[in-house]
Amino acid sequence: MNFNLIDIENWPRKEYYLHYMNQLRCSYSLTTNIDITRLKTFLKQTNRKIYPAQIYMLATLVNQYQEFRMNYNSDGALGYWDQLNPSYTIFNKSSETFSSIWTEYKQSFHEFYEHCIQDIAQYNQATSLMPKPNQPANSFTVSSLPWTSFTGFNINAFTDGSYLPPIFTLGKFIEQDNKTLMPIAIQVHHAVCDGFHVGRFINALQQLANDYHTWLNT
């Protein structure tokens, strides 16, 4: 997959990137609820699981917006991938441990869904952190916390603070006023992603959930 280098000197975000990477290095997170009432109902009616659909929606929007595909290449140069693949958590009930596996992103929901279901079935009894080999560099992270809902969630990554890809955390659904709400926390790096970008992503995610009929049968 192609990695596109950023010409920092001619990049409109140069000043912002340098400030939030060198002067005030920081990431931030935002938590919100997405109404998935009709989406969840339709998936149940068609006997399909919702977790692959959640992962698909996130991957579709990550691949729509460049600021969510930013990273460094092996030489430490800043750029963005043409496409990112989701790396997501699954839970082993017997060992009470989780694993992180990945599935190649496909624009066709049906194709992605089938591959995702196969990957989950193959590795759901794994006891290692990353049992599926050859995870590509062009990946982003999705975590699932289906045992509890939340109104706030924050990941404290004690690194040098230069991790750029987004991190998504999904919570237990909230049943409220005849609606099903999906809690989601989004963590990003301020050097490449502002509040405007996160807000646009959230609005697009809600729209994607509303327009489920346009992609569920692709």
CB atoms within 10 A of CB 116: 26
Find, among 154, 70, 85, the residue nearest to 116 by Cα.
85
Looking at the DSSP assignment, which residues form a beta bridge with residue 70? 80
The DSSP 8-state label assigned to residue 20 in this structure reads I
Q: Tell me phi and psi for residue 60, to 5 degrees.
A: -60, -45
Listed in sequence order, the residues at least 6 apart from 159 whose beta carbon sits closer than 8 Å to its beta carbon are none
The DSSP 8-state label assigned to residue 213 in this structure reads G
190 flagged as catalytic? yes
Q: Tell me phi and psi for residue 131, to 5 degrees.
A: -75, -25
- The Cα angle at residue 88 between residues 111 and 25, in degrees rounded to 5: 125
Instruction: Report how far residue 62's alpha carbon sits from residue 56's, in angstroms, rounded to the nearest whole number.
Output: 10
Instruction: Report how far residue 67's alpha carbon sits from residue 24's, in angstroms, rounded to the nearest whole number.
Output: 19
Please tell me which residue in 19, 110, 189, 190 is annotated as part of the active site: 190
Instruction: Report how far residue 59's alpha carbon sits from residue 87's, in angstroms, rounded to the nearest whole number.
Output: 10
Q: Do 44 and 214 touch, CB atoms closer than 8 A?
A: no
Give catalytic residues, as residue numbers: 190
